[in-house]
């Protein structure tokens, strides 16, 4: 049974559900009839100093940019901290770019798409973000093909999702893609989250 290491990027003023939603989905998923889990999920930030997320929730990152393990899947959340602060953080942008070269999948939630856009990873690809920021993404990054009215866009090794709760839908899509419908449905039932598995 395959196993993936999932890294979730954190930074000050990150949107809570952008990272907590995917964290919950990947952490709860398990192979049926055994104690093994498909995913190990950890958080990573520029330093291991306490992160103050949007609206004041405090979170302690597991790793920093110097001691983090290899991640097979990297989740880049959004929020005010992404589009207004970290977009100007050259260290963070470089770390994302360097890390994604080693990842199987990189996925953004909400305005985390702007951080991926800043690296150039979305150039020539279809992408989406929070509905309030679609025009901004399109005007500031003209090489991106911006998609509207959808929860997420899969460009194989790069996936972008819409705002906040759309990151949960994207996470269930990844469960279906990587470990199958049975595990995706079982995880959704456990979370009491309604998904249409055939339309993911």
The whole-angstrom separation of Cα 105 and Cα 156 is 8
**Which tokens go with 49?**
């100093």
Q: Can you tell me the distance from the alpha carbon of 157 to that of 84, in angstroms, rounded to the nearest whole number?
A: 26
Please confirm, yes or no, whether 110 is among the known catalytic residues: yes
Q: Which of 25, 51, 110, 200 is catalytic?
A: 110
Residue 36, classified by CB atoms within 10 Å of its CB into exposed (0-12), middle (13-18) or buried (19+), is exposed
Under a CB-based contact definition with an 8 Å cutoff, are residues 65 and 95 in contact? yes
Q: Which positions are catalytic?
A: 110
């Amino acid at each position: 049974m395959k196993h993936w290491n999932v890294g979730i990027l954190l930074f000050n003023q990150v949107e809570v559900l952008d990272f907590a939603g995917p964290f919950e989905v990947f952490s709860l998923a398990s192979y049926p009839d055994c104690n093994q889990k498909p995913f190990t999920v950890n958080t990573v930030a520029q330093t291991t100093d306490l992160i103050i997320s949007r609206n004041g929730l405090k979170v302690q990152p597991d790793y920093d940019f110097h001691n983090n393990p290899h991640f097979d899947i990297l989740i880049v959340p959004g929020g005010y901290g992404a589009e207004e602060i970290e977009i100007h953080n050259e260290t963070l942008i470089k770390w994302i770019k360097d890390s994604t070269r080693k990842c199987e999948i990189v996925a953004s939630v909400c305005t985390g798409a702007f951080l991926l856009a800043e690296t150039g990873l979305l150039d020539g690809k279809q992408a989406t973000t929070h509905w309030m920021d679609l025009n901004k993404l399109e005007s500031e990054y003209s090489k991106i093909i911006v998609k509207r009215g959808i929860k997420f866009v899969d460009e194989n090794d790069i996936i972008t999702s819409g705002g906040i709760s759309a990151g949960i839908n994207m996470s269930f899509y990844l469960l279906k893609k990587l470990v199958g419908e049975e595990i995706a449905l079982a995880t959704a039932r456990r979370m009491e989250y309604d998904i249409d598995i055939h339309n993911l």
